[in-house]
Structure 1
Amino acid sequence: MVTGVNFDAQMPRDPFADDPNDPASFLDADEPMPPLTEEEREGIIQDLSLVKRFKEILSPRGIRGIFFLCEDCAVNHYYDWEILAANMRATLADELSPVHEPGAEPEVTAYVPWDYCLGYLDGMEQR
């Protein structure tokens, strides 16, 4: 049995720590998120379905998820399939998505752009 382990110390440092432009600093804790429009809700449901298909097709090939180039910090952010789905489900439930990514040093070759996934899926369906 492991006791006395500080798991928080094992987590990577918040990339926005001490950043005056931290996007979260502009949110008012008492201000509710605006409700999703029906169009936004349908788009997220469609994307959630795509993430499920991407995972089914690409996971056996060693692809763990996707990456996005963050326009704010100009750094790639890596998201596992489960993290993407959890964020989308939270949004659909009108909850804030927790910010989380894989470990501090993800295996970057195991992540691909969203458009790659769309193209791969399209190619699989065209056979």
Structure 2
Amino acid sequence: MPLDPFADDPNDPASFLEPDEEFPPLSIDERAHILEDLTLLEKFQVALEPRGILGIFFYCEDCDEPHYYNWEIMKDNMRSLLGGQQSPVHEPSAQPDINAYVPWDYCLGYLDGLDAHKS
């Protein structure tokens, strides 16, 4: 994981949040879903990274902006969830190359296309 840029900063924005609550354990179904998504994410990376795609973006309804996550950040977030921890909040950079990120559904469609081509 990248170092926390606010480590030891008395003005850390997170210091104004409530202390972390206990993270409820995942259900068997939730755990299976995350494991499935992690497997898909690894396949996405293998198929798309050689073509210049660096990761996934999601549209955030809270801030009305897209959020860009590279492959490793996404995998780390999923592993955190599987380990019973809340995912850390971070993005690859302040100004990512938006052309190097695609939505999750694009990745699914890309894999489906590869599979259809093999048949």
Cα distance in structure 2, aligned partners of 1:63 and 1:110: 5
How many residue pairs match? The answer is: 107
Identity of aligned residues (%): 53
Cα distance in structure 2, aligned partners of 1:68 and 1:84: 11
Per-residue CA deviation, residues 26-62 of structure 1 (Å, 9 max, x unaligned), is xx52530111111000000000000000000000000
Partner of 1:117, secondary structure, is: helix
Q: Extract unaligned runs of 5+ from structure 1.
A: 1-6, 10-16
Partner of 2:88, secondary structure, is: coil
Change (3 A) 1:53 1:104: same
Change (3 A) 1:90 1:119: same
| Aligned position for 1:108 | 98
Residues 1-127 of structure 1: matches in 2 within 5 Å? 8=5, 25=17, 28-29=18-19, 31-127=21-117
Cα distance in structure 1, aligned partners of 2:103 and 2:69: 10
Partner of 1:84, secondary structure, is: helix
Change (3 A) 1:30 1:79: closer
Structure 1 consecutive aligned stretches of length 4 or more whose deviation exceeds 6 Å: none
Instruction: State the shift of 1:106 in Å.
Output: 0.2
Change (3 A) 1:30 1:67: closer
Instruction: State the shift of 1:98 in Å.
Output: 1.3
TM-score by length of 1: 0.78
Matched AA of 2:73: I
Matched AA of 2:103: P
Q: Extract unaligned runs of 5+ from structure 2.
A: 7-12
TM-score by length of 2: 0.83
Per-residue CA deviation, residues 69-94 of structure 1 (Å, 9 max, x unaligned), is 00100100000000000000000000
Partner of 2:113, secondary structure, is: helix
